């Protein structure tokens, strides 16, 4: 992202934000409510055009957007089917995909349940599974641990720590950030945006 600025109705949300995403980065975007974190994610994922600056994705580099993946889950589909017919899951033997789902704490019985009948934490883990199998080099998440049970948070932490690409996540969850982040991008009303390694 190069010198990105965004404003709504003439009100500047942020200006002049630049940062790179490199392989294996785990970037946490932090800052107070309303400071513009979700807006930055919308610009990063192309849901919104920035007022100034540019977002450039290197050729062949794709991203998976966890929140959108969750929103777009087919509630009538089963856990096993949804994951087996998606991305890298398509070519992998069913047994292997189901083993991967077991790692994400799905029981044998969960696999045949419809996604609509799952808890929020279980749905989040299906969305995460699809992000991991999407072939994307970057996984982008906006407050993924909100309302999640401890098991789902721990599963998510481990999966993101071991993901071979890069992770960009907005979060207010101190423990989650401490576990996964290697870089912080802090929105501060006084100081503007600062980047630091952690
Ligand atoms: N489409 C829009 N039109 C007008 N104003 C908007 C729009 N989207 C966001 N805003 C405003 O932009 C500011 C930043 O919002 P944003 O959702 O990015 O904050 P945030 O840092 O993600 O906050 P939170 O931590 O509460 O999720 C807020 O003042 C919000 O009201
Ligand atoms: Mg937000």
- CATH code for position 31: 3.40.50.300
How far, in Å, from the CA of 48 to the mean position of ligand 1? 12
Residue 21 counted as domain residue: yes
Q: What residue has token string 């072939």?
A: 135
How far, in Å, from the CA of 68 to the mean position of ligand 2? 14
Residue 4 counted as domain residue: no
- pTM above threshold 0.85: yes
**Could you tell me the residue range of the domain that residue 167 belongs to?**
12-51+62-72+121-197
Measured between alpha carbons, how far apart are the two ends of the chain, in Å?
Answer: 20
Q: Are strands 2-8 and 11-17 parallel, antiparallel or unpaired?
A: antiparallel
Residue 188, pLDDT above cutoff 90: no
- Residues 6 or more apart whose CB falls under 8 angstroms from that of 36 comprise 6, 13, 14, 187
Which of 87-91, 103-107, 125-129 bottoms out in mean pLDDT, i.e. has the lowest?
Answer: 87-91
Take atom 30 of ligand 1 and give the residue whose Cα is closest: 34
To test ligand 1's pocket by mutation, which of 6, 15, 35, 45 has the most ligand atoms within 8 angstroms of CB?
A: 35
Q: State the total domains in the chain.
A: 1
Pair of tokens at residue 180 = 């996964």
**48 ligand 1 Cβ < 6 A:** no
d(CA 122, CA 141): 16
């Amino acid at each position: 992202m190069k010198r990105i600025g965004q404003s709504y109705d003439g009100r500047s949300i942020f200006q002049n934000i630049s940062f790179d995403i490199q392989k294996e980065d785990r970037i946490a975007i932090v800052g107070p409510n309303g400071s513009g974190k979700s807006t930055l994610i919308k610009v990063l994922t192309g849901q919104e055009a920035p007022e100034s600056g540019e977002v450039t994705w290197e050729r062949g580099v794709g991203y998976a957007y966890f929140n959108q993946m969750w929103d777009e889950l087919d509630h009538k589909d089963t856990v096993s089917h949804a994951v087996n017919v998606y991305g890298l899951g398509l070519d992998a033997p069913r047994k292997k995909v189901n083993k991967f789902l077991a790692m994400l704490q799905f029981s044998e019985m969960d696999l045949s349940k419809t996604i609509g009948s799952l808890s929020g934490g279980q749905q989040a883990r299906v969305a995460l599974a699809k992000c991991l199998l999407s072939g994307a080099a970057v996984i982008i998440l906006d407050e993924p641990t909100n309302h999640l049970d401890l098991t789902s948070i721990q599963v998510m932490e481990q999966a993101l720590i071991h993901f071979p690409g890069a992770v960009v996540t907005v979060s207010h969850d101190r423990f989650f950030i401490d576990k996964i982040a290697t870089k912080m991008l802090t929105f501060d009303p006084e100081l503007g945006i600062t980047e630091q390694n952690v």
